[in-house]
Amino acid sequence: MEAKEIIRQVRRIEIKTRKLVDETLAGQYHSAFKGQGMEFAEVRAYQAGDDIRSIDWNVTARSGEPYIKKFSEERELTVMILVDMSGSQEFGSGDKSKRDLAAELTALFAFSAIRNQDKVGCLIFTDQVELFVPPKKGKKHVLRLVREILAFEPHGLKTDIAGALRYFSQVVKRKAVVFLISDFLDQAFDKPLRFVRSRHDLIAIPVFDPRELDPPQSGLYVLEDGETGQEMYVDFGSRKVRRAYIERAESTRRQTLDTLKRSRVDAIPIACGEAYDKALMNFFRMREMRR
């Protein structure tokens, strides 16, 4: 993609996502995520009715009187966006590929974060970690993240979600809100998924193209695996072939959602070319009600 086209796309995404953030999502993001982290403030003498689980036993032992720990909400969160840039992300049956959708979602989450004075960073991965951008604040930083995703030329084509999660765990120690954007065409990532979820607030964003679940009614097509380059001729005019294709796609999708559910990771499936504002608003409302 040429530099001028990248600049145009970045500008288009900025206008679209900032409008959505300003008009709808910023307040809901704040309600869903702000204050989930707690930091130690002070100790004070125990009073009747205090939760005994808050007792600071070290101070209590030294003073001979019961004291409890007081905590306050952290005013600043760290938001990390993990973006799958494997070959399959290039697929898109309409005007928007899964990669384009990932760039929009990155901008949306990042603008929501900085609107609430949070820091935001990004990790781009394929079958290797391609790029790590440390969390920072500011509009210029957000636009850099979007530009990186649109212009990035990955070295790898395949997907290693487990490797990306392990790397993230090594470099980000403080609790963060983590958005994992991928089509999840991978296996054996459930253990790292649960590990990250136990230490961070992890939200999965399974992105997909509607054509993956609803192929053409007829015609002979050449399908290319974006991660292996392997080509296959498929006759969608055959009901048997079309049904087998749909069943396999639906099975893969179910397996992904089942893995996320078993790992107790919230998921927001989003399709290319379809409006995602309602799905995100519903998710933020659900998170707010659950707090």
* Domain ranges across the chain: 3-34+75-290, 38-73
| Residue-by-residue pLDDT tens, the chain, 291 positions | 678 888 888 898 989 898 888 888 878 887 787 655 555 557 778 877 677 777 888 888 888 888 887 665 555 789 999 999 999 999 988 888 999 999 999 999 999 999 888 999 999 999 999 999 999 999 999 999 999 998 899 999 999 999 999 999 999 998 899 999 999 999 999 999 999 999 999 999 999 999 989 988 888 888 878 788 788 888 888 999 999 999 999 999 999 999 999 999 999 999 998 899 989 999 988 887 776
**How far is Cα 208 from Cα 214, in angstroms, rounded to an integer?**
11
Task: Give pTM, 2 decimals.
Answer: 0.83
Q: What is the pLDDT of residue 35?
A: 54
What is the CATH number assigned to the segment(s) 3-34+75-290? 3.40.50.410
DSSP E strand boundaries for the chain: 38-45, 67-73, 78-84, 119-125, 129-136, 177-182, 201-208, 220-224, 231-235, 266-267, 270-271
DSSP 8-state assignment for residue 66:
-
